[in-house]
A = this chain, B = another copy of it.
C-alpha cells in the first residue's frame, strides 16, 4: 500500500517553509566528471567562479536579506577554498555534507561511498572542528548503502529524493529508521536553467522563465503546506543575471505572509520534534 504524505505544522503558523540551499561544488564537480578536466583551465574556471566571485556575492545578499542558507559542500571544496567555507560559517549559515570529490554514490562501490563520507567529514573536522548534521549526496542521487552509512555516522537528515512535498523519515532495508529526508521538486533548482558546457551544451534560460517556474512551485507548495526546497549552486546562481533571479524570487516570496525561511537543519529538527510528539501521543 502506498503511504500518504504526512502534513507538517510549520513554526509560528507558517503555511510553508523556504529552504535556500547551495551545493558549493566549485571545481570538484568538473574534476569528478572527467579526469582530463584537471588540465582544462576554462572548464575548471566554471567551478572556480563559484568560490572566487559567487560565494562572497551570495553571502552579501543573504546578509542584506537577513536569511540563512544551507551550504552542501564537498570536502574537496573545504580543503581548497577554506577561507570561503570559513566565511560561510562566520555568517552563521549551515554547513552540510556533500561528499568529498563529488562522486555520485554508486551502489556497486560501497567502499567509495564510505570513503566519500569519511573524507568529507574529515575535511570539516580538520579545518573547523565541525561536524555537519545535514547531507546531500552529489547529483542528488542516493541508495540504501548511503542511508545506512548516514545512520552509522549520526546524520540528522539527507536531501536527495523527489517523492514528497513534506519531510519524511527513510526506512532502512532492515526496517530500522533512517535519516530524515528533505525532499526536492525537480524544477526548483538552478542547474537546468543556467549551466552549460561546450562538450554537453544545454540551453540557457532567462529570468522570466526561471521566475515563472520557481514562483509557481512556491505558490502551490504554500497552498499545499509543503517544503519549498531550492537547490542552487554558487557557480550558477552567483552569476550576475542569476543573482537577479534569486533577488526577485525572494522579493516575490516576501509578498506572502506565513512563510518560514529556514535552514535544512531547522526544518529537520521541526520534523523530528513532531515525530516524537506523535509517538508519545500514540503511546498514551
Enumerate chain A interface residues (CB-CB to B < 8 A): 1-5, 39-46, 48-49, 51-53, 56-57, 80-84, 107, 137, 139-144, 147, 160-165, 183, 185-187, 192-196, 198, 201-209, 212-213, 216-217, 219-221, 223-224, 226, 239-241, 243-244
B163 near A52 (CB under 8 angstroms)? yes
Q: A185-B240, A220-B241 are in contact. Are A141 and B192 (CB under 8 A)?
A: no
How many chain copies?
4
B217 near A163 (CB under 8 angstroms)? no
B107 near A39 (CB under 8 angstroms)? yes
B209 near A206 (CB under 8 angstroms)? yes
Residue of B with least CB distance to A141: B42
A186 near B192 (CB under 8 angstroms)? no
Residue of B with least CB distance to A218: B240
Q: Specify which of B161, B196, B203 is in contact with A205 (CB 8 Å cutoff).
A: B203
A53 near B239 (CB under 8 angstroms)? no
Question: How many Å from the CB of A74 to the closest CB on chain B?
Answer: 14
Q: A3-B52, A240-B221 are in contact. Are A41 and B161 (CB under 8 A)?
A: yes
